[in-house]
């Protein structure tokens, strides 16, 4: 088929631009994951500990962004899944110390994923502010349970002393009093394959296409025969599962779980992390988490009012670069390519 007039060259240019975008995205992805893998051999212990916190919160932020980027729904209560999984993992480790840790992490995450599907039946029937308020109410409800149910959750005292002296990774493979580097490697061994699998599901499968179609035009998707409620519900459950893996790993990495892991402050913080990194890029929240953790650590060493300065920096970033750091990098890259081609 011949494309008449100037339309053919325009489409060719568009295809070339998309190809460059995919290529640059792939390079950035491998660079980011390569940095995560190589960190234990490069960074000192203190920085590695900060990075360990960053990648776990980054995984949590990716879970949030699965809902925001792909379904267009802003959740104000996503810490409910993160914190519930953290508490569940602490209880599982205390009750079944001889069971391999990966099994316990998956049990906690699957339980939270099922909780996400249950709660999602209520939430995803709403959109816009109504969805956000529903998630806020659910988050507040689960926080209240964790705060009041002292016999199970420890209340404000939290749960400690649940970590066994020996972590069973696989039959015959144990870690005695795992170091910061070993805990980091355990976190990275879950983060990398999980995020790659989720990225492929959302970007390269019919399910991912359906999720994005429902976001763009729900009425058209329904007209084409998609069950839009089930599509949004499945994506919501996937986001809860990812947050659950992050929460379970968080309990192991810190050896302590408190209401801080399920409160509304954390739900707000994860939104900030996602927007700093850039919600338009799948890996943006992971980048935003690293910037937030290292930035807050350095600012807190300089001033007691670090949260004020962090808040001001976030406001400036959102106003100047609404697509976040990833969007800024993409803009600069495209301009460099234009200059080179020009």
Query: What is 240-309 written as a DSSP string?
Result: HHHHHHHHHHHHHHHSEE-GGGTSHHHHHHHHHHHHHH-TTSTTHHHHHHHHHHHHHHHHHHH-TTHHHH
Confidence band (pLDDT; 50, 70, 90) for 238? very high
> Tell me, what's the pLDDT at 172?
73
User: How far is residue 298's CA from residue 6's CA, in Å, rounded to a whole number?
Assistant: 54
Rg (CA), the chain: 21
pLDDT at 15 over 70: no
Task: Name the strand (E) or helix (H) holding 167.
Answer: strand 166-170
Q: What percent of the chain has pLDDT over 90?
A: 58
pLDDT at 104 over 90: yes
Query: Among all chains, which residue has been given the structure tokens 């689960």?
Result: 142
pLDDT at 2 over 80: no
* Residue 95 resides in a domain: yes
Lowest mean pLDDT among 3-17, 31-45, 245-259: 3-17
For 238, the domain range is 43-263
* Residue 244 resides in a domain: yes
> Tell me, what's the pLDDT at 342?
58
pLDDT at 108 over 90: yes
Task: Name the strand (E) or helix (H) holding 176.
Answer: strand 173-176
Per-residue pLDDT reduced to its tens digit, 275-304: 999 998 899 999 999 999 998 988 888 888
For the entire predicted model, the pTM comes to 0.90
Please state, in angstroms and as integers, the Cα–Cα distance from residue 67 to each residue in 241, 254, 292, following that order. Answer: 12, 27, 21
Residue 26, Cβ density class (10 Å: 0-12 exposed, 13-18 middle, ≥19 buried): exposed
> Tell me, what's the pLDDT at 262?
94
* Residue 161 resides in a domain: yes
* Residue 16 resides in a domain: no
Per-residue pLDDT reduced to its tens digit, 176-210: 888 888 899 999 999 999 999 999 999 999 999 99
pLDDT at 40 over 70: yes
Kindly provide the b/e burial profile for residues 315-338, where b requires at least 16 CB atoms within 10 angstroms of the residue's own CB: eebeeebebbbbbebbeeeeeeee
> Tell me, what's the pLDDT at 300?
85
* Residue 29 resides in a domain: no
Query: Which residue from 26, 39, 28, 30 is spatially nearest to 188, judged by alpha carbons?
Result: 39
Which parts of the chain fold into alpha helices (H)? 7-42, 45-71, 79-95, 101-123, 128-148, 150-153, 180-204, 206-216, 218-223, 228-254, 264-277, 284-302, 306-320, 324-341
> Tell me, what's the pLDDT at 190?
93
Number of separate domains in the chain = 1
Per-residue pLDDT reduced to its tens digit, 167-185: 888 877 788 888 888 899 9
pLDDT at 14 over 50: no
Please tell me which of 13-17, 27-31, 151-155 the model is most confident about, judged by mean pLDDT.
Answer: 151-155
> Tell me, what's the pLDDT at 1?
41
Query: Which residue from 145, 121, 146, 147 is spatially nearest to 134, judged by alpha carbons?
Result: 121
Reduce the DSSP state of residue 160 to 3 states and report it.
strand
Q: What percent of the chain has pLDDT over 70?
A: 91
| CA quadruple 54, 59, 65, 67: dihedral, nearest 10 | -150
* Residue 198 resides in a domain: yes
Task: Name the more confident of 23 and 296.
Answer: 296
> Tell me, what's the pLDDT at 337?
64
Query: Which residue from 183, 156, 158, 181 is spatially nearest to 169, judged by alpha carbons?
Result: 183
* Residue 287 resides in a domain: no
Query: Which residue from 9, 68, 100, 63 is spatially nearest to 238, judged by alpha carbons?
Result: 63
pLDDT at 35 over 80: yes
Q: What is the average pLDDT across 150-171? A: 87
| CA quadruple 135, 138, 140, 146: dihedral, nearest 10 | -140
pLDDT at 165 over 60: yes
Mean pLDDT of the chain: 88
* Residue 96 resides in a domain: yes
User: How far is residue 159's CA from residue 147's CA, in Å, rounded to a whole number?
Assistant: 12
* CB contact at 8 A, 85 and 106: no
């Amino acid at each position: 088929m011949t494309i008449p007039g100037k339309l053919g060259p325009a489409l060719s240019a568009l295809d070339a631009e998309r190809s460059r975008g995919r290529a640059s995205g792939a390079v950035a992805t491998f660079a980011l994951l390569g940095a995560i893998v190589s960190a234990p051999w490069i960074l000192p212990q203190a920085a590695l500990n900060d990075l360990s916190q960053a990648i776990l919160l980054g995984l949590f932020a990716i879970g949030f962004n699965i809902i925001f980027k792909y379904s267009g729904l802003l959740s104000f209560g996503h810490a409910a899944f993160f914190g519930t999984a953290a508490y569940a993992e602490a209880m599982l480790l205390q009750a079944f110390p001889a069971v391999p840790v990966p099994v316990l992490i998956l049990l906690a995450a699957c339980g939270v994923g099922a909780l996400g599907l249950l709660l999602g039946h209520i939430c995803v029937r709403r959109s816009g502010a109504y969805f956000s308020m529903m998630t806020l109410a659910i988050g507040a409800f689960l926080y209240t349970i964790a705060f009041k149910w002292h016999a199970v959750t420890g209340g404000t005292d939290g749960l400690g002393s649940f970590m066994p002296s020996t972590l069973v990774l696989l039959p015959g493979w144990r870690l005695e009093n795992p170091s910061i580097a070993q805990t980091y490697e355990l976190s990275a061994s879950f983060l990398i394959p999980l995020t790659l699998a989720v990225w492929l599901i959302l970007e390269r499968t019919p399910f991912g296409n359906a999720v994005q179609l429902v976001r763009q035009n729900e009425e058209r998707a329904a007209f084409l025969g998609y069950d839009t409620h089930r599509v949004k519900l499945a994506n919501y459950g996937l986001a809860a599962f990812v947050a659950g893996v992050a929460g379970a790993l968080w309990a192991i990495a810190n050896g302590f779980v408190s209401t801080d892991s399920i409160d509304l402050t954390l739900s707000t913080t994860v939104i900030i992390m996602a927007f700093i990194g850039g919600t338009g890029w799948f890996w943006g929240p992971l980048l935003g988490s690293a910037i937030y953790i290292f930035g807050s650590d350095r600012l807190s060493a300089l001033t007691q009012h670090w949260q004020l300065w962090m808040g001001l920096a976030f406001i400036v970033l959102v106003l100047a670069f609404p697509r976040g750091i990833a969007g800024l990098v993409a803009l600069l890259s495209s301009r460099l390519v234009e200059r080179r081609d020009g």
